[in-house]
């Protein structure tokens, strides 16, 4: 009797393991498409999405478009050719991404966008982005406070084709422009690039010798601006960024960059995969297409808790 019960238990265990394997294989492939992983923000998105997808039983394929529209189109074609169950994408352009997302939809593959919106509704299943306007207003308020409500400042903005660049700049100016003694002496795009920000800031410094502050649309540009200022012996200029990267957290703790806004990109990427899984199982995510995740102001008071775009 005891032997029979033991054999039955072993059989049930083997059956459950077999069912688990079949379920994992049946869930298919999730393709994750982001900009370059050289930027820790985008790498975090990809890692977070991969972790959640594997946890839920999917295979994953992580691809990089380097903000190239043509390369992004090729990667969507790859996802379609591979018969992906779903695509998670941080896109290469609000207008240019509509067509490939529609092409995937026509092929029966739903797309879940993270970080950046597209200029269309009803094409992607979800568009999960940080509340860039709310976050930019937080940074703008802190910048005004740090500047003492007066002085010359510079703004470095992101890629012009990216909606986030425009929204963040609007949020900054919604706060700063209330103070007439704050004067913007230069506004240039550094296209989200640390190297380009360094070069642009060098030129701005040569043309202006009375800079009190620099407000940047992302952290990589803030790091580039800070490096150029320190190289020019102007390390006391007030610099703020946007993203919440580990590099900027360390810079804040070292007394260089003064503030940033934490975008919850880790949370957003995992949420996108969870919604993809629910949509594939039930035909609905249960939430509206466009979703905003609030940002958190990071300063010297809480920078020590910031790690990998999460507050610990």
What is the CATH classification number for the domain harbouring 71?
3.40.50.2300
pLDDT band at 76 (very low <50, low <70, confident <90, very high): very high
At 205-218, the pLDDT tens digits run 999 989 999 999 99
pLDDT at 21 over 90: no
Same domain, 139 and 288: no
How high is the pLDDT of residue 10? 47
Q: Express as a percent the part of the chain with pLDDT over 90.
A: 86
Q: Which carries the bigger pLDDT value, residue 16 or residue 251?
A: 251
d(CA 163, CA 95): 10
Using DSSP's 3-state secondary structure scheme, residue 308 falls into: coil
Signed CA dihedral, 217, 304, 53, 40: sign only: positive
The answer to whether residue 97 sits within a structural domain is: yes
The answer to whether residue 311 sits within a structural domain is: no
CB atoms within 10 A of CB 140: 24
Residue 69 buriedness (CB in 10 A; 0-12 / 13-18 / 19+): middle
Phi, psi of 129 (to 5 degrees): -130, 155
At 235-250, the pLDDT tens digits run 999 999 999 999 999 9
Query: CA nearest 29: which of 237, 276, 255, 260?
Result: 276
How high is the pLDDT of residue 279? 98
User: What mean pLDDT, rounded, does the chain reach?
Assistant: 92
pLDDT band at 18 (very low <50, low <70, confident <90, very high): very low
How high is the pLDDT of residue 4? 52
At 180-208, the pLDDT tens digits run 999 999 999 999 999 999 999 999 999 99
How high is the pLDDT of residue 44? 93
The answer to whether residue 14 sits within a structural domain is: no
The answer to whether residue 60 sits within a structural domain is: yes
pLDDT at 58 over 90: yes
Same domain, 248 and 278: no
The count of domains in the chain is 2
Same domain, 119 and 165: no
pTM of the model: 0.80
């Amino acid at each position: 009797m005891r032997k029979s019960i033991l054999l039955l238990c072993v059989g049930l265990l083997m059956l459950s393991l077999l069912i688990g394997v079949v379920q994992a294989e049946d869930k298919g492939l999730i393709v994750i498409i982001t900009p370059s992983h050289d930027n820790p923000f985008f790498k975090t998105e990809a890692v977070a999405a991969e972790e959640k997808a594997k946890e839920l039983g999917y295979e994953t394929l992580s691809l990089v478009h380097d903000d190239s529209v043509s390369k992004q189109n090729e990667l969507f074609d790859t996802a379609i050719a591979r018969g992906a169950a779903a695509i998670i994408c941080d896109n290469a352009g609000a207008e240019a991404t509509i067509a490939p997302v529609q092409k995937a939809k026509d092929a029966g593959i739903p797309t879940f966008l993270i970080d950046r919106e597209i200029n269309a509704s009803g094409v992607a299943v979800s568009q999960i982005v940080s509340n860039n306007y709310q976050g930019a207003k937080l940074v703008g308020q802190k910048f005004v406070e740090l500047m003492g409500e007066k002085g010359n400042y510079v703004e470095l903005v992101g890629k012009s084709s990216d909606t986030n660049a425009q929204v963040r700049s609007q949020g900054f100016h919604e706060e700063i422009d209330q103070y007439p003694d704050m004067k913007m002496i230069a506004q240039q795009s550094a296209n989200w690039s640390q190297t380009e920000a360094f070069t642009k800031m060098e030129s701005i410094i040569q043309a202006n010798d009375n800079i009190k502050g620099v407000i940047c649309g992302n952290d990589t540009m803030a790091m580039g601006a800070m490096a150029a200022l320190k190289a020019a012996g102007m390390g006391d200029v007030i610099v703020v960024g946007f993203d919440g990267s580990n590099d900027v957290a360390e810079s804040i703790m070292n007394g260089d960059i003064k503030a940033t806004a934490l975008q919850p990109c880790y949370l957003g990427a995992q949420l996108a995969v969870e919604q993809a899984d629910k949509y594939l199982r039930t035909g609905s995510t249960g939430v509206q297409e466009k979703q905003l995740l609030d940002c958190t102001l990071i300063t010297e008071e809480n920078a020590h808790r910031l790690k990998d775009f999460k507050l610990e």
